Structure 1
Amino acid sequence: MSLQLKGISKAYQDGQEKNIILDKADLTVQPGEFVAILGPSGSGKSTFLSIAGLLLTADEGETLLDGKPVHGLSDKERTKLRREKMGFIFQSHHLIPYLPMEEQLRLVATKELAREKTSLTDRIDSLLTGFDLSAQRRYLPQQLSGGQKQRVAIARALINQPSLLLADEPTASLDGKRGHQVVELMKREASQRGTAVVMVTHDERVLDLVDTIYVLKDKQLLLQTEVRK
């Protein structure tokens, strides 16, 4: 799936003042492309990611998926598109406290994948092995470390083999080795399945794995090469 955001603007009311977060920001991501967005805290990176994932609506501008505008979709259609085509990795893991780790993944599987029980089990096994979590598959969230919880959340985002993966600081609670491992798996999804990946990050240790780097500066997205000029 390709992603295009054109002229995206977003502002929030702060008392009597209007706080502009994004001002005509543009981004294009092709299928199989891994994009990283850098920028200081509070610069609007997470807001931009939420607009890309149809969780927020821009004040101005247009979002296109595979060249088709999404502004006319109903809430139900947006929800269906997010569930079937997108994977989200948030800064907080949002795990359900009473579900074992394996069931966290089963819960979000699409109806189509859930019907194919063998395929779903194979997919879960593959992800747990890739994230070095096989031994903890029946653990509840309170039995996991912070890093393990984050890896479960990332595996959950990948379970449905999304066409678009949106990641907000996915390595924030991981050490350097684990962080690199996780981003390598995201890179593999992009390469093998043609998944478009957009990752907001401060972690420069993983930037060698991405294809394109943008910097959010002055409320707009600039290619890193343009920032350096």
Structure 2
Amino acid sequence: MLEIKSLSKSFYSGSGKKRVILDELNLTVNDGESVAIVGPSGSGKTTLLNMVGALDHPDAGEVLLDGESVFSKNEKQLAEFRNQSIGFVFQLHHLLPQLNLVENILLPVIARQKKVDDPSRQRAETLTQKLGIRELQNQKPGELSGGECQRTAVARALINQPKIVLADEPTGALDQHSSDQLADLLLQLNKEEKTSLIVVTHSMSLASKMDKIYQLENGKLQLVQS
């Protein structure tokens, strides 16, 4: 479903020195598959995730979703692609403090269609039930624990039924118990929703739960567990 072909990305330091981050990198992720990407800090894990999610452009190479090139789209089409095909979960939940839990979950719906219809409200209800936060729907982020905020962020990522969820250190700010709970919920939803999942993490405990683990180092991906 997702194909990354010969993806390359470099950055230049203030002195003009070129640093290669991704070096003709290749990866295929099948429908419903869960993949972990591990590697040292600064190895390009987040850069790679940003390419898949069309938040950044490569110097060369392609990202194909169902055979269609992501970077052939114009800016309006890319915005629609990010909204409808990709769900993002970051280390920090990025919830809006003035909105309650369910309002935060429904933000991508409002961005897409300007109003919230009944099917979207029903889906939000279903997701909060699956994630164990249904009773907290009227609470604001400041009234929630870190784990509850991150579960809300997962529900927000899934509200538009994306093809892929991209999670960048989703458990990095949580204690071990909350991390384990969130990891199990992510994988449960990955299977139930048949949504592909790519997780960037330093946690081998989280990575080991995925179908495959890739190591990113020196711009290349190496399969280390399948």
TM over 0.5: yes
Normalised to the residue count of structure 1, the TM-score between the two structures is 0.90
Normalised to the residue count of structure 2, the TM-score between the two structures is 0.91
Please state whether the residue corresponding to 1:114 is helix, strand or coil. coil
Moved more, 213-222 or 101-110: 101-110
Residue in 1 that maps onto 2:65: 65
Flag structure 2 segments of 5+ consecutive residues without an equivalent: none
Please state whether the residue corresponding to 2:97 is helix, strand or coil. coil
Supply the distance in 1 between the matched residues of 2:62 and 2:223 (Cα, whole angstroms).
20
Quick check: 1:150–1:173 contact (8 Å CA) kept in 2? Answer: no
Q: Which amino acid aligns with 1:111?
A: Q
Residue in 2 that maps onto 1:24: 24
Quick check: 1:176–1:205 contact (8 Å CA) kept in 2? Answer: no
Quick check: 2:201–2:207 contact (8 Å CA) kept in 1? Answer: no
Residue in 2 that maps onto 1:130: 130
Query: What's the offset of the Cα at 1:112?
Result: 10
Residue-pair matches, total:
223
Query: What's the offset of the Cα at 1:143?
Result: 1.8
Query: What's the offset of the Cα at 1:7?
Result: 1.0
Supply the distance in 2 between the matched residues of 1:112 and 1:223 (Cα, whole angstroms).
42
Q: Which amino acid aligns with 1:161?
A: Q
Query: What's the offset of the Cα at 1:72?
Result: 1.6
Q: Which amino acid aligns with 1:138?
A: N
Query: What's the offset of the Cα at 1:208?
Result: 3.8
Supply the distance in 2 between the matched residues of 1:78 and 1:143 (Cα, whole angstroms).
34
Query: What's the offset of the Cα at 1:225?
Result: 4.9
Query: What's the offset of the Cα at 1:206?
Result: 2.4
Residue in 2 that maps onto 1:104: 104
Alignment of 1:206-217 (within 5 A): 206-217=206-217
Please state whether the residue corresponding to 2:7 is helix, strand or coil. strand
Residue in 1 that maps onto 2:184: 184
Flag structure 1 segments of 5+ consecutive residues without an equivalent: none
Encode CA deviations 1:48-87: one digit per residue, 9 max, x unaligned.
Answer: 0000111100011111111122222101011111111110
Query: What's the offset of the Cα at 1:166?
Result: 0.6
Fraction of identical pairs, as percent? 39
> Structure 1 residues 149 and 225 mapped into 2: Cα distance closer, same or farther (>3 Å)?
closer
Please state whether the residue corresponding to 1:223 is helix, strand or coil. strand
Encode CA deviations 1:143-189: one digit per residue, 9 max, x unaligned.
Answer: 22222222211211111121111110111122333323322232233
Quick check: 1:168–1:199 contact (8 Å CA) kept in 2? Answer: yes
Query: What's the offset of the Cα at 1:34?
Result: 0.5
